[in-house]
């Protein structure tokens, strides 16, 4: 209720009024919004109370008709509640009046005795009034609340389903009928089916583990949500990873980071998987903005979840690596200029890890076109051909306007598989070379024979040792101030999918055509274009 609270003593109304549960102590019985032009003014909130006049000195009696006609000269605004003795006496009077009004006409029912109250116990959720008085609630109240909550959940699910269907139709209109993307889509479906035994276990962990805090709101947009993966140990502040997942800028979702979040949480690291708008719901500018807002939320609020605000690391995978790198560079450029940097600072990040990312879009347009992400839709995602340089981190750091921002960047570590044909490994190599030329601290880890999804999915599903995750964890824990990570016992991850299914899934997703295309394109990437 907005505005000052006005306590009005209604002495002339004999009608019983139900008292809302949130006003048990103040004696409020009903709320009334003043009519336009009335004595209280339009939009003012009024509280009507039925206290005996002798209990509230200084309050004048006022009828309901006088209130509606605007006679507000006798209304008194008070900030102090009535004395406790007055409240208790008024509750007794109201309880007695309500009991007598429910009796038959012409009969007078005495107040219930203590023995009668003990014989008929109150409802489970009914609050007690003074002197063992009971205010009973309707039995259907709880059911109505649950029904209303269920209806809201169904309405929300229906709205999200409608939105997803509409966006899918828009995307299909962009894609049209083409054998390349249809082939890739079918391969992705077969790949998912082969890894389904592991995905089911990860989904169960995602929805039912007490370590997962799902859909924490960080912004105003529909996709401004993030998932938190909290370690079981609660001793001391934990290092934090802000993770931006991949998905070809089209099918990205925060839930894709459940496996990475679980593995890092087992190593005593809090993981925040940031969701963002996908195309066609948003373009690359919207995605970078969402990622930046998610990072700002983590920097400002992670301490309330047991995280250490001074040890935050940024991780991105595939398209998420590109989006996170853009957000990082844009923030560094803003800090060098006169723009507002109150949301977060690059100095709050200890390092950036990029997994199988692409950092020069000028080299990737034709490559993605041959793999089913057609040139027209890719340029629509990237807001036109003229924006490719603007959203290419490798190109950005070579420009004179951004060179002064490079020293502000944290340590940059990139991971890539040499058999990655979705985004060739030379993309990471070229980005590292450009960073080192500008004096940035940058390192590259290449994994022989690993594909685009091996580092992020197949290797964690395989169980046992995971070289990339161990490298990330060692970098993070190397800066642990109390060296508690040295005593951290990390359980050996068990295998979630049989090995033959993992190998078959990799071959299905890669395919014979993808392998030929990758070898053919790898030669043209040896000399990346720098503008």
Give me the CATH number covering residue 293.
3.40.50.1820
Alpha carbons 46 and 32: distance in angstroms, whole number: 5
Handedness of CA 174, 179, 180, 184 (dihedral sign): positive
Of 438, 408, 400, which is closest to residue 334 (Cα–Cα)?
A: 408
Q: Which of 452, 454, 459, 477 is catalytic?
A: 452
How many domains does the chain contain in total? 1
Alpha carbons 226 and 145: distance in angstroms, whole number: 28
3-state SS of 24-68 is CCCCEEEEEECCCCCCCCCCCEEEEECCCHHHCCCCCECCHHHHH
Greatest C-alpha distance within the chain: 101
Alpha carbons 34 and 14: distance in angstroms, whole number: 21
Range of the domain at 293: 191-510
- For 89-140, the DSSP string reads HHHHHHHHHHHHHTSPTT--PPPPPHHHHHHSPPPTTPPEEGGGEE-PPPTT
Handedness of CA 315, 318, 321, 323 (dihedral sign): negative
Going through 361-423 in order, the beta strands assigned E by DSSP cover 411-417
Q: Which two tokens stand for residue 497?
A: 């999918």
Distance of CA 423 to the CA centre of its chain: 28
Indicate the pTM of the whole model.
Answer: 0.66
Cα–Cα distances (Å) from 258 to 69, 81, 466, in that order, read 62, 51, 16
499 located within any domain: yes
Query: Is 213 an active-site residue?
Result: no
Four-point Cα dihedral 254, 298, 267, 494, nearest 10? -10
467 located within any domain: yes
Residues with Cβ within 8 Å of residue 434, at least 6 apart in sequence:
394, 397, 398, 530
Q: Which of 292, 318, 419, 422 is catalytic?
A: 318
346 located within any domain: yes
Residue pLDDT tens, the chain, 531 long: 444 444 444 444 444 444 444 444 444 333 333 333 344 444 444 444 444 444 444 444 444 445 444 444 444 444 445 555 554 555 554 544 454 454 444 444 444 444 444 444 444 444 434 444 444 445 556 556 666 666 766 776 676 666 666 666 666 665 666 666 677 778 888 888 988 999 999 999 999 999 999 999 999 988 899 999 999 887 889 999 999 999 899 988 999 999 999 999 999 999 999 999 998 889 999 999 999 999 999 999 999 999 999 999 999 999 999 999 999 999 999 888 766 666 899 999 999 999 999 999 999 999 998 887 888 889 999 999 999 999 999 999 988 878 888 889 999 999 999 999 899 999 999 999 999 999 899 999 999 999 998 999 999 998 888 899 999 999 998 877 665 555 466 777 888 989 998 888 888 877 643 443 433 333 333 334 333
342 located within any domain: yes
Alpha carbons 2 and 21: distance in angstroms, whole number: 19
Q: Which two tokens stand for residue 378?
A: 């890719």
183 located within any domain: no
260 located within any domain: yes
138 located within any domain: no
Q: Which of 72, 227, 290, 420 is catalytic?
A: 420
Query: Is 290 an active-site residue?
Result: no
281 located within any domain: yes
Query: Is 392 an active-site residue?
Result: no
Any idea how long the chain is?
A: 531
């Amino acid at each position: 209720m907005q505005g000052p609270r006005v306590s009005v003593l209604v002495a002339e109304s004999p009608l019983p009024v139900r008292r809302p549960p949130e006003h048990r102590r103040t004696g409020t019985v009903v709320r009334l919004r003043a009519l336009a032009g009335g004595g209280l003014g339009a939009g003012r909130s009024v509280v009507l109370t039925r206290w005996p006049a002798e209990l509230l000195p200084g309050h004048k009696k006022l009828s309901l008709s006088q209130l509606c006609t605007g006679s507000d000269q006798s209304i008194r605004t008070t900030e102090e509640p009535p004395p406790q003795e007055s409240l208790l006496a008024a509750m007794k009077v109201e309880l007695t009046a309500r009991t007598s009004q429910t009796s038959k006409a012409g009969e007078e029912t005495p107040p219930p005795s203590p023995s009668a109250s003990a014989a008929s116990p109150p409802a489970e959720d009914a609050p007690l009034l003074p002197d063992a008085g009971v205010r009973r609630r309707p039995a259907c109240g709880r059911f109505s609340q649950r029904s209303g909550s269920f209806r809201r959940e169904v309405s929300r699910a229906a709205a999200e389903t409608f939105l997803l269907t509409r966006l899918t139709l828009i995307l299909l209109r962009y894609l049209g009928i083409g054998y390349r993307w249809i082939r890739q889509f079918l391969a992705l479906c077969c790949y998912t089916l082969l890894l389904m035994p592991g995905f089911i276990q990860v989904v169960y962990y995602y929805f039912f583990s007490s370590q997962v805090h799902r859909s924490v709101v960080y912004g105003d947009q529909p996709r401004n949500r993030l998932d938190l993966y909290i370690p079981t140990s609660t001793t001391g502040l934990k290092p934090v990873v802000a993770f931006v997942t991949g998905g070809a800028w089209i099918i990205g979702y925060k839930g894709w980071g459940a496996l990475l979040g679980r593995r890092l949480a087992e190593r005593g690291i809090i993981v925040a998987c940031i969701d963002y708008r996908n195309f066609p719901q948003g373009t690359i500018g919207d995605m970078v903005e969402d990622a930046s807002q998610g990072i700002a939320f983590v920097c400002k609020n992670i301490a309330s979840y047991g995280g250490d605000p001074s040890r935050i690391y940024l991780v991105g995978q595939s398209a998420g690596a590109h989006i996170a790198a853009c957000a990082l560079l844009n923030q560094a450029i803003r800090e060098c200029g006169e723009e507002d940097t109150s949301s977060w600072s690059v100095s709050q990040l200890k390092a950036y890890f990029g997994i199988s990312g692409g950092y020069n879009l000028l080299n990737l347009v034709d490559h993605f076109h041959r793999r089913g992400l057609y040139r027209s839709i890719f340029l629509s995602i990237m807001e036109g051909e003229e924006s490719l340089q603007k959203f290419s981190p490798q190109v950005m750091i070579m420009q004179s306007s951004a060179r002064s921002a490079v020293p502000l960047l944290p340590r940059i570590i990139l991971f890539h598989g040499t058999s990655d044909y979705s985004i060739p490994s030379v993309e990471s190599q070229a980005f590292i070379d450009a960073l080192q030329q500008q004096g940035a601290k940058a390192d590259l880890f290449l994994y022989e024979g690993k594909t685009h999804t091996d580092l992020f999915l197949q290797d964690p599903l395989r169980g046992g040792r995971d070289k990339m995750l161990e490298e990330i964890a060692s970098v993070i824990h190397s800066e642990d101030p109390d060296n508690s990570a040295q005593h951290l016992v990390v359980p050996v991850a068990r295998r979630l999918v049989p090995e033959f299914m993992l190998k078959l899934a990799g071959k299905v997703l890669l395919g014979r055509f993808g392998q030929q295309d990758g070898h053919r394109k790898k030669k043209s990437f040896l000399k990346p274009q720098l503008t």
